[in-house]
Every structure is written in structure tokens, then in C-alpha cells.
């Protein structure tokens, strides 16, 4: 399969979102080669997604799928009184408490009937509709699970859904009874029936995968949930990554505990700023912006609009405001933060800056909003705002995250390593690197090397100080940074 490197390269360098270029022009996906066809031909026509919905992650699948940690097991038994608030926390303001209680009951009921994972179904619902049944789908994508009625219509007869499973070298017919809530596809517009049918399809695909992968030449992927997005032929893997990342988050909400910190800065334990880690990164320290006029000062997390942003460690909020063009950081009171026009913001948009122990400062940019004020003490894992697109010129909503040591920019890819998957681990990231001008690549390497050198020097200085007087920097009081905020404008 030929690649879309020339088109993608021009799009990346021009600042155009990559998923808008290349694949649409030539009808090709950026990713692995499809699996070879094997075994007897299936006795049904390939079920293909016909919704026309945008799949924003073209090329964001991992080159090496083994880089993912094993996915956590679902808690068992699942308690409805815990599952409902976890679902509400996942869907945030898009779902009332009454709705979350009702949806939780229906999800658990359907998953118990068909023997599938309720956390997986809840995550699929969130990714396909943001938990809103009236979400504006393309004409043929229906309801909470964004189901393609046209794809499945030929297999539904008299309240039973037909499918085949492979045993040895033979495809054997199976069917699943969906008659309690689904006598016709029109019922898919009803929330309960939509959830019920989605669980039935998960049951079928769970039995068919991986046999259908070779039969219909899917690309390699990790989980049968990919087929809920693509049908029988899986085109790319970022869709399942998003669902599984959401599943990790809702399991965390269900347990009602923050994950154990897996990173450390000097004496400070560091948490992940987003839920469901590890997370993919699309931009790193030293990347060139505005055709090489300035350098990226942090990392960009692949994110979903509105998802919670958390403090990576205990500390004082020293800035909560807006990046004003030409003026750097401008403080804005919490009650006025929602009234700032986007076109009046600098590239950092709405942002929060937190002072931690040991001279560490963390910065969270492009926020949709923030929930803290200057001088406030926050705990590690506390929600300080939500992912937005403020200050962004040409990209999807995402979190831009920076770290500073005593005012000097340091590399989050080093200090938050357990939580981050680097850009070069994805097909798109490798294409971007291949398309990057040599001078930009050299500049990025130099900037990252300088940051690493400063970090090593400060560590040596700290060791010398500690050995002489045994004292270390604390975060007992807030310190307002005087650094001017100059973020990227992706």
C-alpha cells in the first residue's frame, strides 16, 4: 500500500491538521499494512461503516502495539451505585444525574445479558456520542452508540441478529436474540434499545474477532471494539485507543481513587495531568512553530474537548489567566474567565500555572476554563480546569503542558515518561519527522539537549547544596513567576 507522505508533509509544515489532508485526497489510511487474507471466504458481505463520520486519528495508531500496557481488568461484581456516578463523571456536564443513573442501569442490564464489559460499552458510548442521544450524527449513525443501521439491517430478522463464527475451516451460523427491545431498526433511536443492541453487537464481534480480521484484511489491532467503529474491516487503530483510554478513566472513577504516582521530580511525586494514562503526544519540546519562527516549549496531549485537567502535584496556583498577545500572562479573575473573546487571546489561551516544591512549576494551556484562582492551594490530582481550544490556531482541542525548573523550561517527555507515548511511536509522528526540514530537526535536538544539560547541572548543584547544609526548597508559600508566557499556537 502506498503512503501519503508528500501530501501529509505539506499539511504538517503548513500547520493544517493532518487528519484533514492526505487520506481524503487519496482515500488511503496512514498506518500498517492490512493482514493477509486467510482461510475460507466468509458467507456474508463485508459489513463496512457507511456513516461518513470523521475519524480524526488517521495515522495516530502505534507502530508497535506492544507499547501499550495491559488493559486493567473490569472490577467484579459491578455495583450500580458506584457505576452511575462514575458514568456521570465521565460524561461530565453532558449528562444529568438522573440520566446517568438510568443509562448506568441500562448498560449493566444489557452487558449482563450478553456477557460483555460495561466499562467498555460506557466508553464506546462516550466516544461515539459524548453520552448525548440527540448528538448530531451523520444521517446513518444513530443514537448513543453511534450505530450504523444500514450496515446491520441485512442481518436483523424477526428480532434476531445473525452472524457467523469460525470453527476450524468452517464458518458456522449463530444468532442473538434482540427482540426484547429491538423489533425494527427504527427502535435504535430509543436510548435503551440503542444500548441493548450495541451490547448484542459487542457479543457477536467478541466471538468473531480475530477470525474476521484476516478474512476481511483488517489492519493489526488490539481489541474487538475496533469492529464496533469500523465494521468487519478495521482501517486504523486510534479509534480503539480512544475507547480503551476512556475505559481506563472510567475504571479509575469507579474505584474513586487516584492512580499511584509513577513519576518523580527530585522529592516530588508526579501524577498525570489527564485521566486514562498513558497518553499519546503529538508535539514535543523544541518543535518549530510558525515556519520556524519559534520553538515549542512543552508537549501536546491528544485530548478530548472538555475532559478534566489535573494538577500533577501539590502546589500553589501562581497564575490563572490568559495569554494576552504581546503582553504575556494577564491575570483574570475566575468570574470573568468565561467572558474573554478567543480572538483576543495569545497562543497560550486560558492557562493555569502551579508552583510546586523543589523550584518546579507546571503550566496547563489552551484550557476551556479553569476552576482555581491565584493563591489557591491545590492537591495532586485535583481538577484545575478542562481541555479546550483557546489560543489554538490550526489544530483540534488539546492540552499543552509545560514544566519549568527555577524558571527554565525542562522536558516533560523525560520527567513524565511513564505517562507519555512519544510522537515517533505513531505512524503519523514518523511521517512528520521524515518531512521535517533538517534545520528544524537540528534545532529541536539542540533545544532538548540544552534542557537536558541544564537539568543535569541543577541536579549536580542540588547534590552539592544538600551535602553542605541539608536544606531543600519547599512549596510552603506561593511564588509568582515572572516568566512571560509564550506558548505554541497549534
Q: What is the per-residue pLDDT across 452-470, written as a single tens digit (0 to 9) for each? A: 776 676 666 666 655 555 4
Is the pLDDT at 484 greater than 60? The verdict is no
Give the bridge partners for 386, in sequence order: 308, 369
Is the pLDDT at 139 greater than 60? The verdict is no
Residue 464 is predicted with a pLDDT of: 64
Whose cell is 480572538? That residue is 343
For residues 131 and 345, the model is more confident at 131
Residue 373 is predicted with a pLDDT of: 94
Between 333-342, 374-383, 438-447, the lowest mean confidence (pLDDT) is in 333-342
- Using pLDDT thresholds of 50, 70 and 90, give the confidence band for residue 17: very low
Question: Long-range pairs for 19-28 at CB < 8 Å and ≥24 separation?
Answer: 19/54, 19/55, 19/56, 19/57, 19/58, 19/59, 22/58, 23/58, 23/59, 28/1, 28/2, 28/3, 28/4
Grid cell of 465 as nine digits: 547544596
pLDDT in tens, 95-125: 889 999 999 999 999 999 999 999 999 999 9
- Using pLDDT thresholds of 50, 70 and 90, give the confidence band for residue 1: very low
Residue 286 is predicted with a pLDDT of: 60
Q: Read off the pLDDT of each residue in 203-210 and give the average, rounded to a whole number.
A: 97
**CA angle centred on 240, ends 364 and 172, rounded to 5°:** 170
Is the pLDDT at 41 greater than 80? The verdict is yes
- In whole angstroms, what is the distance from residue 11 CA to residue 462 CA? 44
Residue 5 is predicted with a pLDDT of: 30
Residue 459 is predicted with a pLDDT of: 66
Residue 340 is predicted with a pLDDT of: 66
Between 24-38, 186-200, 212-226, 428-442, the lowest mean confidence (pLDDT) is in 24-38
**Domains of the chain as residue ranges with CATH:** 23-252 (1.10.530), 263-469 (2.70.70.10)
- Using pLDDT thresholds of 50, 70 and 90, give the confidence band for residue 326: low
pLDDT in tens, 46-100: 999 877 766 656 789 999 999 999 999 999 999 999 999 999 999 986 788 999 9
Q: Read off the pLDDT of each residue in 365-380 and give the average, rounded to a whole number.
A: 95
Residues contacting residue 25 through CB under 8 Å, at least 6 positions apart: 4, 7
Exposed/middle/buried for residue 451 (C-beta within 10 Å: 0-12, 13-18, 19+): buried
Is the pLDDT at 350 greater than 90? The verdict is yes
pLDDT in tens, 207-245: 999 999 999 999 999 999 999 999 999 999 999 999 999
Neighbour count for residue 431 (Cβ, 10 Å)? 22
- In whole angstroms, what is the distance from residue 276 CA to residue 283 CA? 19
Virtual torsion, Cα 377, 378, 379, 385, nearest 10 deg? 180
For residues 89 and 4, the model is more confident at 89
Q: Read off the pLDDT of each residue in 293-303 and give the average, rounded to a whole number.
A: 79
Residue 27 is predicted with a pLDDT of: 39
Question: Structure pTM?
Answer: 0.85
Residue 6 is predicted with a pLDDT of: 32
Percent of the chain topping pLDDT 70: 76
Amino acid at each position: 500500500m502506498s503512503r501519503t507522505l508528500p501530501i501529509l508533509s505539506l499539511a504538517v509544515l503548513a500547520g493544517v491538521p493532518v487528519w484533514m489532508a492526505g487520506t481524503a485526497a487519496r482515500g488511503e489510511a496512514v498506518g500498517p499494512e492490512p493482514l493477509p487474507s486467510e482461510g475460507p471466504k466468509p458467507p456474508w458481505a463485508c459489513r463496512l461503516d457507511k456513516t461518513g463520520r470523521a475519524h480524526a486519528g488517521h495515522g495516530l495508531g502505534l507502530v508497535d502495539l506492544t507499547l501499550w500496557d495491559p488493559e486493567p481488568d473490569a472490577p467484579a461484581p459491578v455495583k450500580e451505585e458506584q457505576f452511575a456516578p462514575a458514568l456521570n463523571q465521565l460524561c461530565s456536564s453532558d449528562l444529568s444525574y438522573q440520566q446517568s443513573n438510568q443509562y448506568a442501569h441500562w448498560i449493566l442490564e444489557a452487558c449482563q445479558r450478553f456477557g460483555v464489559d460495561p466499562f467498555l460499552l460506557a466508553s464506546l458510548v462516550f466516544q461515539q456520542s459524548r453520552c448525548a442521544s440527540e448528538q448530531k450524527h451523520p444521517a446513518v449513525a444513530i443514537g448513543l452508540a453511534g450505530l450504523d443501521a444500514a450496515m446491520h439491517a441485512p442481518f436483523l430478522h424477526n428480532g434476531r441478529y445473525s452472524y457467523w463464527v469460525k470453527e476450524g475451516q468452517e464458518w458456522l451460523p449463530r444468532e442473538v436474540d434482540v427482540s426484547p427491545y429491538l423489533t425494527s431498526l427504527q427502535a435504535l433511536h430509543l436510548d435503551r434499545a440503542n444500548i441493548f443492541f450495541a451490547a448484542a453487537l459487542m457479543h457477536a464481534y467478541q466471538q468473531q474477532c480475530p477470525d474476521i480480521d484476516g478474512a476481511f484484511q483488517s489492519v493489526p489491532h488490539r481489541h474487538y471494539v475496533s469492529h464496533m467503529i469500523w465494521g468487519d474491516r478495521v482501517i486504523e487503530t486510534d479509534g480503539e485507543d480512544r475507547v480503551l483510554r476512556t475505559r481506563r478513566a472510567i475504571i479509575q472513577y469507579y474505584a474513586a481513587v487516584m492512580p499511584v504516582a509513577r513519576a518523580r521530580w527530585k522529592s516530588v511525586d508526579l501524577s498525570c495531568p489527564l485521566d486514562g494514562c498513558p497518553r499519546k503526544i503529538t508535539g514535543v519540546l523544541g518543535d518549530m512553530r510558525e515556519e520556524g519562527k519559534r520553538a515549542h516549549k512543552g508537549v501536546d496531549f491528544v485530548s478530548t474537548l472538555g475532559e478534566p485537567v489535573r494538577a500533577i502535584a501539590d502546589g500553589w496556583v501562581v497564575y490563572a489567566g490568559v495569554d494576552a498577545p504581546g503582553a504575556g500572562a494577564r491575570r483574570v479573575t475566575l468570574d470573568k474567565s468565561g467572558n474573554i473573546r478567543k480572538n483576543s487571546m495569545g497562543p497560550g489561551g486560558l492557562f493555569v500555572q502551579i508552583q510546586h516544591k523543589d523550584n518546579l512549576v507546571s503550566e496547563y494551556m489552551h484550557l476551556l476554563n479553569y476552576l482555581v484562582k491565584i493563591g489557591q492551594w491545590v492537591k495532586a490530582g485535583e481538577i484545575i480546569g478542562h481541555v479546550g481550544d483557546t489560543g489554538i490556531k490550526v489544530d483540534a482541542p488539546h492540552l499543552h503542558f509545560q514544566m519549568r525548573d527555577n524558571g527554565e523550561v525542562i522536558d516533560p517527555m523525560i520527567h513524565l515518561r511513564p505517562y507519555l507515548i512519544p510522537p515517533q511511536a505513531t505512524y503519523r509522528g514518523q511521517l512528520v519527522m521524515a518531512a521535517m526540514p533538517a534545520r528544524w530537526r537540528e534545532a529541536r535536538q539542540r533545544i532538548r539537549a540544552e534542557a537536558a544539560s541544564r537539568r543535569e547541572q541543577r541536579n549536580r548543584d542540588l547534590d552539592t547544596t544538600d551535602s553542605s547544609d541539608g536544606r531543600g526548597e519547599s512549596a510552603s508559600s506561593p511564588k509568582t513567576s515572572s516568566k512571560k508566557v509564550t506558548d505554541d499556537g497549534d
